Amino acid sequence: MADKVVMDSDSINRTISRIVNQILERNNGAADVVIVGIRTRGVHIATRIANEIEKLEGIRPEMGTLDITLYRDDLRQKTEWPKVEKTEVPFDLDDKKVILVDDVIFTGRTTRAAIEAIMDFGRPSSIQVVTLIDRGHRELPIQPDYAGLKLNTLSSETVRVHLKETDGKDEVVVVKQ
């Protein structure tokens, strides 16, 4: 069946701007705020958030990237284990406000794994979850603090976030199976 475009380049930009403003409002600016992106596309959204914060506040928050493979809860079931990519959090997370960024939140299992990974880097004062798309169907009690777009989806559908950095253009599409 046909793919449905639910966000284009302009709406993605506006949504990221709005999320950045919400982050700055809730945290009274960008002091002690660090941005951690979940590989792969969360990292690109995290970078855009950091750029925007730098524009508005004049300081660039520290940035980290997280590969959650070693924290997955399905390693005991999965037939094909993913390749482990690099995690880079080259700064102390103690007493920091960690903005954890992913492109899509679905079952909540990736977010859970990411939270566990972050805890191994220190004791942040808070972890706040950002996601461009919240597509529902949570299997764990985890909710985003900042969601770009809430979508009602079927479990059988796939949400694809395309970003200029990896896919050549900005676009979110829902693919029906």
Partner 1 sequence: MAFERKHILGLEELTAEEITLVLDTAESMREVSDRDVKKVPALRGVTVCNLFFEPSTRTRSSFEIAEKRLSADVLNFTTIHSSVVKGETLLDTARNLEAMGASMIVIRHPMSGAPWLLARELNSSIINAGDGWHEHPSQGLLDLFTIRRFKGRIEGLKVAIVGDILHSRVARSDIWGFSKLGAEVRVVGPPTLIPKYIEDINAKGYYNLEDAIRDADVVIMLRIQRERQDSEFFPSLREYSRFYGLTRDKLKVAAPDVTVMHPGPINRGVELSSDIADGAEAVILEQVSNGIAVRMAMFYLVASARRNS
Residue numbers at the binding site for partner 1 (CB under 8 A): 67, 69-71, 75-76, 78-81, 83-88, 116-117, 119-122
Whole-number minimum distance, CB 36 to partner 1, in Å?
Answer: 14
Whole-number minimum distance, CB 80 to partner 1, in Å?
Answer: 6
Whole-number minimum distance, CB 95 to partner 1, in Å?
Answer: 13
Whole-number minimum distance, CB 66 to partner 1, in Å?
Answer: 11
- Of 109 and 162, which CB lies nearer to partner 1 in the complex structure? 109
d(CA 30, CA 32): 6
| Contact (Cβ atoms closer than 8 angstroms) between residue 98 and residue 113 | no
- Of 67 and 102, which CB lies nearer to partner 1 in the complex structure? 67
Orientation angle between helical segments 41-57 and 9-26, nearest 10 degrees:
60
- Of 75 and 175, which CB lies nearer to partner 1 in the complex structure? 75
Whole-number minimum distance, CB 64 to partner 1, in Å?
Answer: 11
- Of 67 and 170, which CB lies nearer to partner 1 in the complex structure? 67
- Of 13 and 69, which CB lies nearer to partner 1 in the complex structure? 69
